[in-house]
Structure 1
Amino acid sequence: MRKALTSLLLASSFLFSGCVAPPAIDPQGNVRVTPTSSSLQSQGAQEFLKLKQAKKISKNSTYNAQLQRVARRLTPVINLPGAKWEFVVFEDKSPNAFALPGGKVGIHTGMFKITQTDAGLAAVVGHEIAHVTSNHAGKRQTQQIGLLIGAIALDQVVKNQGASGGERAAVAAGYGAVSTLGLALPYSRSHELEADKVGAIYMARAGYDPRDAVKMWRRFEAYNVKQGRSQPEFLSTHPLDQTRISALQSFMPTAMQQYRKR
């Protein structure tokens, strides 16, 4: 069992010392767009079509007009090669939004109570599109493949060391916990914080005051408090609201350099 634990520690060290992808934004606020593969774009289009068939599309004229108005200002300042833009409001009380590879964006009706203003909505849409321009889906896919390969290789090592079936299962469970808590979840949280910053740049370039992004996340924080939502950050795919608010506030000097009031 000691050899198995040693192998687990060595695998964990390898995971934490792995290559880190370059950031999507530099200190000057220049956005680095990472092209999305054509296969992911195709998958995004297919998934969006399925969602439109499965979910009710909102006929709320106010919400639809606001989304299209914001989209018309955002899309010209966003470099997304091969984008076939589509913005849809879905009838859903949960405050959620998403963007899929290829320029497909969905907003739930429940999100509008939190975004409230055009600038607030621009912060959310910009954030979601930033996930696409930063190819976060592709990066997570690559990471997951790497973790799977690591799990297979580790199991082979402990098997060759003569570990019993129970020991192999224990090492696999340990590897899963270490890779999830120590790599996969922090990686996801870093993507969220990165998308916040890139989204702030996009809204600033479109003429929306990026400081309104901070106001919007404060409203979202108040909503989560009211709903009684609470989870330790290290167990979540998303940073705590206060973490992202603080990070955005620190980023504001950079974002404001890109702001051109209209």
Structure 2
Amino acid sequence: MRIGNIIALTAGLFLAACVTENAVTGRSQFITIPPSQDAALGLEAMNEVKKTADVKTTGPAAQRVKRIGARIAAISDKPDMPWEFVVIEEDVLNAWALPGGKIAVYQKMVDSFTDDNELAAVMGHEIAHAILRHGAEQMSRAQAQNLAIVGVGAAVGATTKDGEMAQMAVTLGALAAQGFVQLPHSRAMELEADDIGTLYMARAGYDPRAAVRLWQKMKSMKDGASQPAFLSTHPSDDKRIARINAKMATYMAEFKNN
């Protein structure tokens, strides 16, 4: 059996064994990392962040982020996750989630959204990322893509005996993986986090209409230099707003029941 075929067979078996169904959304996910490792991975990554960034765990901004985050996490599908909510003292309009429930919001984000309902939309989105294991999913997909790309290079090299051709195959494979697999999937996960995050904030008693205001304001804050949606890991603000508005009746029903 040729080396390319061996690699393809091994990769196929590996991929099939790692497909699971997400308990929250019902969507099939490819994840190689067991859930038991999420907390350790997140803690290790957060500790590394704390070595290089100005991370705040006390003070008004940090207390506000903790209060809103804890309230949403408490009604989420994983309230017992080892949640940690911090503020990073940087003039950046951003927030992120690590595996295991480590959530960071940048100071500019906190300052820009003084309405707790709008900040709750940010927190709900990041909490959803953690619960849906999007970080572990992205890491797993990157591992699988690297394995497949190496397999392509090995197969081409074995067939042509041409090292330059094999390297070109690896390079083109990496570009194709980024353009047609990684980025679209990232956008899909962002929209999924918008949906579940807005549902969570509504259940926690925050007005889900603020999620629309959040993205309207985010759009107005941009300087017009953002790259086209098809080259971005995030969907366009207009698409996010439209999708949230389309499900607003469901979110409002949750909000009115709390």
TM-score (norm 1): 0.81
Q: Deviations over 1:12-38 (max 9, x none)?
A: xxx9xx9887567559xxxx9x99622
Deviation of the 1:181 alpha carbon: 0.6
* Kept after mapping to 1: 8 A contact 2:154/2:166: no
Say which of 179, 182, 185 aligns to 1:181: 179
Q: Which amino acid aligns with 1:50?
A: E
Say which of 107, 119, 122 aligns to 1:121: 119
Computed over aligned residues only, the root mean square deviation of the Cα atoms, in angstroms, reads 3.0
Residues 1:155 and 2:146 aligned together? no
Q: Equivalent residue for 2:227?
A: 231
Quote the Cα distance in structure 2 between the aligned partners of 1:207 and 1:81: 16
Residues 1:207 and 2:202 aligned together? no
Q: Equivalent residue for 1:73?
A: 71
Quote the Cα distance in structure 2 between the aligned partners of 1:25 and 1:251: 17
Q: Which amino acid aligns with 2:231?
A: L
* Kept after mapping to 2: 8 A contact 1:114/1:216: no
Q: Equivalent residue for 1:87?
A: 85
Deviation of the 1:255 alpha carbon: 2.0
Taking structure 1 as reference, are residues 24 and 250 closer, same or farther at Cα in structure 2, changes over 3 Å only?
Answer: farther
Partner secondary structure for residue 207 of structure 1: coil
Partner secondary structure for residue 256 of structure 2: coil
Taking structure 1 as reference, are residues 170 and 52 closer, same or farther at Cα in structure 2, changes over 3 Å only?
Answer: closer
* Kept after mapping to 1: 8 A contact 2:24/2:77: no
Q: Which amino acid aligns with 1:260?
A: K
Of structures 1 and 2, the one scoring higher in RCO (CA 8 A, sep 6+) is 1
Listed as ranges, the matches of 1:28-177 within 5 Å are: 37-58=35-56, 61-80=59-78, 83-177=81-175
Quote the Cα distance in structure 2 between the aligned partners of 1:148 and 1:54: 28
* Kept after mapping to 2: 8 A contact 1:120/1:216: yes
Structure 2 stretches lacking a partner, 5+ long = none
Quote the Cα distance in structure 1 between the aligned partners of 2:25 and 2:250: 10
Taking structure 1 as reference, are residues 25 and 217 closer, same or farther at Cα in structure 2, changes over 3 Å only?
Answer: farther
- Amino-acid identity (%): 32
- Provide the aligned length of Structure 1 versus Structure 2: 242
Quote the Cα distance in structure 2 between the aligned partners of 1:68 and 1:148: 37
Report the more deviating stretch, 103-112 or 64-73: 64-73
Shift >6 Å, 4+ stretches? 18-21
Deviation of the 1:156 alpha carbon: 2.3
